[in-house]
Amino acid sequence: MTSDCNVTLDQQPAPSDDFTNQVYFSYAQRQVIAAVLALVSTVGLFGNSLVIIAVVLSKRLHRTTNLFVLNLGLTDLLTCAFLPVQSVAVLSECVSPLLGTVCAFVGFLSVTCLSCSINNLLCIALNRFFLIIKDRSTYRRIYRLRNAVLMMLATWLIPIATVAIPALTGYITLGFDPKDSSCSWVASKSSPNYSYVIFGTCIPLQFTLIIWSYTRVFSFIRRHTKSVAHLEKAAKPRPTTLHVSEVSSRDETKEEPLPRRCQPFKLQYEVTKNLFLVLVLFMICVTPFGVSLALAALDISGTGRALPFTATLLTINSCLNPIIYALKHPHFQIVFRCILRGQFSKIPDRIKFP
């Protein structure tokens, strides 16, 4: 990696023109991307901090699923915290020693957090599968606190190993990549196959299991909804000559338990829909970047120009989840409202600190 700007200029007399021709159309494009990254960082830091505070303060949010939501929020928070460094890198056409060192750390963190986010989405999908489809005893056995903590650790340890081992063995070099002015692995000093390593460890197994889990869940919900509709239809009172008091007694014993049994299921259905929306938006944001990265690894002419746009779209996902929770999630909505209004005493099942 180049140690300073002077060496870069000696080796490449017109770096600005070269970068503009290969990746960026103009310096104005760099400025726009840097501004978007700064905006995402600001919104994401606020939103993901709100998610973490909400889960910590409200016992109502102390559910196993929300442990993975909390972990996902922490991942996005770390990503957003270091986006300003990416903004500086985008505006830079040469690298200083300080930027190179910071970029190496930010590059490590960026790749790790991306993989960790996918792993957390997998954990959320599997959790919804066992919670909704399997019996309660099976769910509690699998998702004991110890097991849930081990799952959370695995979502971090596997991505860390995927980045740290190649970096320590010289398979890749982390730092400022002059090809697209970003903090990641330096393409010219790393194995061209590393993109496929990231793809192979993050995409096939995880997304196969995610799609399978949600397909099973929504198929089960559809069957359950039809069954409930049939029961509700069968439970409707028919014309009869019974006394009104007898009809009232029958209604109390036969009709009221049905909605009571259905209400928790409907809540789980709403929560699952919202978490599935999180997955859909993540796939919308990550898929273009994955495609452009694969094409760039194949060294297809012109594909490098798509990387700044798709990478920016990928980072936008880091600030979207809190917005989804605020607009759609029934429990997070209430807690968010209390926190933003400063009404901490009204937080449902609030944790009381000594």
Spatial neighbors of 191 by CB under 8 A, at least 6 apart, are: 166, 171, 172
CATH node for 16-222+274-346: 1.20.1070.10
Q: Which residues pair with 174 in a beta bridge?
A: 185
Q: Is 153 helix (H, G, I), strand (E, B) or coil?
A: helix
Q: What is the pLDDT of residue 20?
A: 46
CB 312 within 8 A of CB 36: yes
Q: Residue 44: name the closest of 354, 320, 339 by CA.
A: 320
Q: What's the first-to-final CA gap in the chain, in angstroms?
A: 52
**If you write DSSP's letter for every residue of 278-289 in order, what string do you get?**
HHHHHHHHHHHH
Q: Is 348 left (phi over 0), alpha (psi -120 to 50) or beta?
A: beta
pLDDT of 193 above 90 = no
Per-residue pLDDT tens over the stretch 4-13: 454 333 333 3
Handedness of CA 347, 351, 352, 354 (dihedral sign): negative
Distance CA(119)–CA(65), nearest Å, equals 13
DSSP state of 256: T
Distance CA(308)–CA(29), nearest Å, equals 9
Amino acid letter, residue 213: S
Per-residue pLDDT tens over the stretch 54-82: 999 999 999 999 999 999 999 999 999 99
Average pLDDT value over all residues in the chain: 82
Mean pLDDT along residues 235-240: 56
Mean pLDDT along residues 107-116: 94
Which helix (H) or strand (E) segment holds residue 81: the answer is helix 64-81
pLDDT of 247 above 70 = no
Mean pLDDT along residues 184-197: 87
Distance CA(214)–CA(129), nearest Å, equals 7
Mean pLDDT along residues 278-287: 91
Mean pLDDT along residues 15-43: 80
Of the chain, the percentage scoring pLDDT greater than 70 comes to 81
Per-residue pLDDT tens over the stretch 203-225: 889 999 999 999 999 998 888 77
Mean pLDDT along residues 278-301: 83
- Prediction pTM value: 0.83
Strand bridging mode 174-177 / 182-185: antiparallel
φ, ψ (nearest 5 deg) of residue 108: -60, -45
Sorted by where each begins, the domain ranges of the chain are 16-222+274-346
Distance CA(316)–CA(39), nearest Å, equals 9
